[in-house]
Amino acid sequence: MAKKQNKVIFLDRDGVINEDPEHLKFQYVTKWKEFKFLPGAKLAIKKLTDAGYSVYVISNQAGIAKKYFSMRDLKFITANMMKEAEKAGGRITAAYYCPHRTEDNCGCRKPKAGLFKKALKRGPIDFKKTFFIGDSIRDVQAGKAIGCRTLLVLSGKVRSRKGKGWAAKPDFIKRDILKAVEFVLRRDKKKT
C-alpha cells in the first residue's frame, strides 16, 4: 500500500493557474499558445513545492467531449504547463481532467468528487486537512463534496466576494492564487 501523502493541495486550472478562457473562441484553452499563466501563479506553485506540498491540478475540460480539442491537445498543454512550472522552481505532481459534458453525468465532473479520488492512487490523503483552490462555486461544491477546505480566488469565474445566490459558501476567499497560497502557508506556520 502506498504511504500517506503528508501535504497535498488541489488547484483548479482555468481562472486559477491560467487566464480564464471565457474570451477565447470556444471558451476553452484549445492549444498551448492560448494558455497564459496568471500573474503570481508560477511563484505560488514554487512556494507550495518549497513547502513540501504535492500539487494536484483538477479541472473540467468538456471541450474534449464537444470536439473543440483532443485529449492529445490537452496532454500537450499540460506537459508545457508542468514544464513552465518546473522552470520557475515549482512542481505539479499530477493533473486530472474530466473530459465529459454535464449531461454525461459522470462521476469525475466537478462538482462531483471523482477527480480528487484519482490522486489517492499516489497514497492516502487526509481531505479534512487539504485545501482546494478554485475560481467557481462549482469548485467550492466539489471541494466540500470530498471534505476539503475550500479557497475561492477572484481571478476567474467569480469576481466578487458577495455570496448572494451561491449554492455553496467557500471557507475562505482571496484575490488570486498567490494570495491564497500565502494564506495556506501562513496557516501551516502557525500550526508548527
* 163 pLDDT more than 90: no
CA 190 to chain centre: 24
pLDDT of 6 over the 80 cut: no
What is the per-residue pLDDT for 182?
98
The DSSP result for 25-94, as a single string, is: TTSS--SGGG--BPTTHHHHHHHHHHTT-EEEEEEE-TTTTTTSS-HHHHHHHHHHHHHHHHHTT----E
User: Which residues form the domain of 60?
Assistant: 8-191
Name, in order, each residue with C-beta under 8 angstroms of 41's C-beta and a sequence gap of 6 or more.
Answer: 16, 17, 18, 177, 178
Mean predicted confidence (pLDDT) in 63-75: 97
Pairwise CA distance, residues 137 & 174, whole Å: 14
Residue 166 — pLDDT band, cuts 50, 70, 90? Answer: confident
Tell me, yes or no, whether 2 lies in a domain: no
Number of domains in the chain: 1
pLDDT at 180 over 60: yes
pLDDT tens digits for 72-122? 999 999 999 999 999 999 999 999 999 999 999 999 999 999 999 999 999
Which residues are paired to 42 by β-bridges? none
Hey, CA dihedral for 18, 22, 24, 28, is it positive or negative? positive
What are the catalytic residues?
A: 12, 14
3, part of any domain = no
The CATH code of the domain that includes 165 is 3.40.50.1000
